[in-house]
């Protein structure tokens, strides 16, 4: 039986991977993230299963390869944490391209409505029997313009939801979807005309810090930015400055560019904290969740099943469409 070293394991991961494993593999659940220091824990295993904040740079890939690891199953869609140049010819890298676009799109809307309608403030107030409506005024979404950056599976679902609210939709994507009836515009036009801007694109060299001081300056003062994709799409310092200066109205963030050592863990007793994240969380016009947009029963089930199927295909020598080929990206 093939053995899998499963890094950064959480209780909710184990439930679904154990359910879908059905005796196919022997899985060792490790609480540690995959790093240069923990890569040696994979010694004696045949493959590793990694997540979004696990480290798969050249050093780690070489360490895994030296220990006989030949496959990595990413239990996520994005692969910006993988050095594909280093992996080529050494490790087969698989991903889960679609686990539940509904989960992420619906969370983006939940964040937007929480901030827009001040749900978080109302919840805290009523817990203290404060039923005042002062400073709880929001805005109708109907009739507003939403700009969607990235029109893949998640972006399409998000657009459909926004259309249900009666919103005008603008879209930007270097590779427009032929099957999507939406108004594609330049990034500049989208930033200038949108009341809400939601990011649903992958993190690449081209998209790194695409939201920065210059692009923030093009947005309306009343604009709200939503990011449920990857933290490094946004220059966090520039965003914090823009929010503090009233350059834009608010931000809904499920990801953060320096989240690796913080998100998914309880940091409540830590004294030293990321100064920019502290500022963002302290602002009344910001909602932050800890990379939980994907966290639904349906998504977790699909992630587990697809990850295990990917590994089964590798060990049986079968073709698998979920393998990441450097030449294709």
DSSP string, 152-218: SHHHHHHHHHHHHTT-EEEEE-SS--TT--SEE--HHHHHHH-SEEEE-----TTTTT-BSHHHHHH
Per the annotation, the verdict on 259 as an active-site residue is yes
Query: What's the rounded mean pLDDT across residues 100-126?
Result: 97
Mind spelling out the 3-state secondary structure of 127-146?
A: HCCCCCCCCCCCCCCCCCEE
Per the annotation, the verdict on 312 as an active-site residue is no
Per the annotation, the verdict on 291 as an active-site residue is yes
Query: What's the rounded mean pLDDT across residues 36-43?
Result: 96
Task: Output the CA angle 100-264-121, nearest 5 degrees.
Answer: 85
Among residues 107, 200, 230, 257, the one annotated as catalytic is 230
List, for residues 192-247, the tens digit of each pLDDT value: 999 999 999 999 999 999 999 999 999 999 999 999 999 999 999 999 999 999 99
Is a pLDDT exceeding 80 seen at residue 107? yes
Residue 327 makes CB contacts below 8 A (sequence gap 6+) with none
Answer yes or no: are the C-beta atoms of 171 and 155 closer than 8 Å: yes
Among residues 36, 259, 312, 319, the one annotated as catalytic is 259
SS3 label, residue 28: strand
List, for residues 144-191, the tens digit of each pLDDT value: 999 999 999 999 999 999 999 999 999 999 999 999 999 999 999 999
Strand partners, 50: 74
List, for residues 4-22, the tens digit of each pLDDT value: 999 999 999 999 999 999 9
Would you say the CATH fold of 101-288 matches that of 3-99+297-328? yes
Is a pLDDT exceeding 80 seen at residue 44? yes
List, for residues 68-96, the tens digit of each pLDDT value: 999 999 999 889 899 999 999 999 999 99
Domain boundaries, the chain: 3-99+297-328, 101-288
What pLDDT does 326 receive? 64
Query: What does the block give as tokens for 69?
Result: 């690891």
What pLDDT does 323 receive? 96
Rounded to two decimals, what is the model's pTM? 0.90
**CATH numeric code, 3-99+297-328:** 3.40.50.720
Question: From start to end of the chain, where are the E strands?
Answer: 3-6, 26-29, 47-50, 71-74, 92-94, 145-149, 168-172, 183-184, 196-199, 224-227, 250-253, 286-288
Dihedral sign for Cα 7, 10, 12, 14, please. positive
Does the structural domain 101-288 have CATH classification 3.40.50.720? yes
Is a pLDDT exceeding 80 seen at residue 327? no
Is a pLDDT exceeding 90 seen at residue 249? yes
Among residues 95, 107, 200, 291, the one annotated as catalytic is 291
């Amino acid at each position: 039986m093939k053995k899998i070293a499963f890094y950064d394991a959480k209780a909710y991961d184990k439930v679904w991977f154990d359910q879908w494993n059905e005796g196919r593999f022997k899985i060792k659940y490790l609480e540690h993230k995959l790093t240069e220091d923990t890569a040696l824990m994979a010694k004696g295993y045949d493959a590793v299963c990694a997540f979004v904040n696990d480290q798969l740079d050249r050093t780690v890939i070489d360490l895994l390869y030296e220990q006989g690891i030949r496959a990595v199953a990413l239990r996520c869609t994005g692969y910006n944490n993988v050095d594909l140049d280093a992996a080529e010819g050494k490790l087969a890298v698989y991903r889960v391209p679609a686990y539940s676009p509904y989960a992420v799109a619906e969370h983006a809307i939940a964040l937007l409505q929480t901030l827009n309608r001040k749900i978080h403030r109302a919840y805290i107030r009523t817990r203290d029997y404060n039923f005042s409506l002062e400073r709880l005024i929001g805005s109708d979404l109907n009739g507003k313009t939403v700009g969607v950056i990235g029109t893949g599976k998640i972006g399409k679902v998000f657009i459909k939801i926004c259309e249900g609210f009666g919103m005008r939709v603008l879209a930007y994507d270097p590779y427009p979807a032929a099957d999507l009836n939406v108004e594609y515009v330049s990034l500049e036009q989208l930033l200038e005309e949108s009341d809400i801007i939601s990011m649903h694109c992958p993190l690449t060299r081209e998209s790194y810090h695409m939201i920065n001081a210059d692009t923030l300056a093009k947005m309306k003062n009343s604009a709200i930015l939503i990011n449920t994709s990857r933290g490094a799409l946004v220059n966090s310092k520039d965003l914090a400055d823009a929010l503090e200066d009233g350059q834009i109205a608010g931000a809904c963030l499920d990801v953060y560019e320096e989240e690796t050592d913080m998100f998914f863990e309880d940091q409540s007793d830590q004294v030293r904290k990321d100064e920019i994240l502290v500022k963002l969380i302290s602002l009344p016009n910001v909602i932050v969740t800890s990379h939980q947009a994907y966290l639904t029963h349906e998504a977790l089930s699909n992630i587990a099943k697809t990850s295990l199927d990917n590994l089964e295909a590798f060990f049986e020598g079968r073709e698998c469409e979920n393998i990441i080929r450097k030449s294709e990206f």
